[in-house]
């Protein structure tokens, strides 16, 4: 699967950060994550981020994709990005679409009617990302990891994640409520832009601390 590219990923990433003001509370949350990640990296330890949301289909996938992009943008090493859920669904088609619109290219790696596997690339970096819906403790998610919960349900339903060496809550607005409405495209892009801006802030902060 591959769509025509209607946006430049690098420009979208930078513009999202420059145009979306972050609250002081949000900056504090992101800085806390950055400090812990930098601490591990400065001690020579690899850092695995696992973005967690109930269905691993929208917000957690957006976070994984943009975090992956951000680590390469800021030339960070020894950081791996994953996502997972408390249930397996699929990398939702509207999430795929909003990422395609800003330049990410989705190659079908393994076909499945319910949960296809994609290899995601972009025209700015050489690296690729394997993505599909999976559980938090899927074998492909390296352990131990930083658990970053991105929706309220995930934070409430995952009181204990044994593989997590650190846990943070970073909720984003769920665009699911706008599926099949006239606002669907705008709301998915709104969340897409918010995630991009916050991953820029997070990983630029890490780069300054190492």
In the chain, what is the greatest distance between 2 CA atoms, to the nearest angstrom? 49
Q: Which domains does the chain have, with CATH numbers?
A: 9-209 (3.40.50.2300)
Percent helix / strand / coil, the chain, rounded to 5: 40, 20, 40
pTM recorded for the entire structure: 0.94
CA distance from start to end of the chain: 38
pLDDT, residue 157, reads: 61
Do the beta carbons of residue 5 and residue 105 sit within 8 Å? yes
Query: How many Å apart are CA 43 and CA 103, to the nearest integer?
Result: 35
Residues 174-195 pLDDT 10s:
999 999 999 999 999 999 999 9
Render each residue's pLDDT in the chain as its tens digit; 210 residues: 333 335 699 999 999 999 999 999 999 999 999 999 999 999 999 999 999 999 999 999 999 999 999 999 999 999 999 999 989 999 999 999 999 999 999 999 999 999 999 999 997 777 899 999 999 999 999 999 999 999 876 666 665 788 899 999 999 999 999 999 999 999 999 999 999 999 999 999 999 999
Edge-to-edge strand ranges of the sheet holding 105-110: 105-110, 117-121, 129-131
């Amino acid at each position: 699967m591959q769509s025509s590219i209607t946006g430049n990923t690098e420009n979208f990433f930078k513009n999202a950060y420059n145009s979306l003001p972050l609250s002081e509370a949000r900056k504090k949350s992101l800085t806390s994550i950055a400090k812990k990640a930098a601490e591990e990296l400065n001690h020579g330890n690899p850092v695995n981020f696992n973005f967690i949301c109930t269905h691993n289909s929208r917000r957690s996938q957006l976070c994984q994709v943009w975090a992956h992009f951000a680590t390469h943008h800021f030339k960070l090493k020894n950081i791996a990005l994953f996502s997972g859920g408390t249930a397996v669904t699929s990398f939702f088609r509207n999430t795929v679409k909003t990422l395609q619109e800003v330049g990410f290219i989705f190659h079908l790696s393994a076909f499945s009617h319910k949960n296809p596997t994609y290899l995601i690339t972009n025209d700015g970096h050489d690296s690729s990302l394997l993505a599909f819906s999976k559980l938090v403790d899927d074998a492909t998610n390296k352990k131990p990891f930083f658990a970053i919960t991105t929706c309220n349900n995930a934070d409430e339903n995952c009181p204990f994640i044994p593989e997590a060496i650190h846990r943070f809550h970073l909720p984003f607005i769920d665009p699911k409520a706008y599926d099949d409405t006239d606002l669907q495209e705008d709301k998915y892009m709104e969340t897409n832009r918010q995630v991009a801006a916050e991953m820029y802030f997070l990983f630029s902060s890490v780069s300054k601390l190492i």
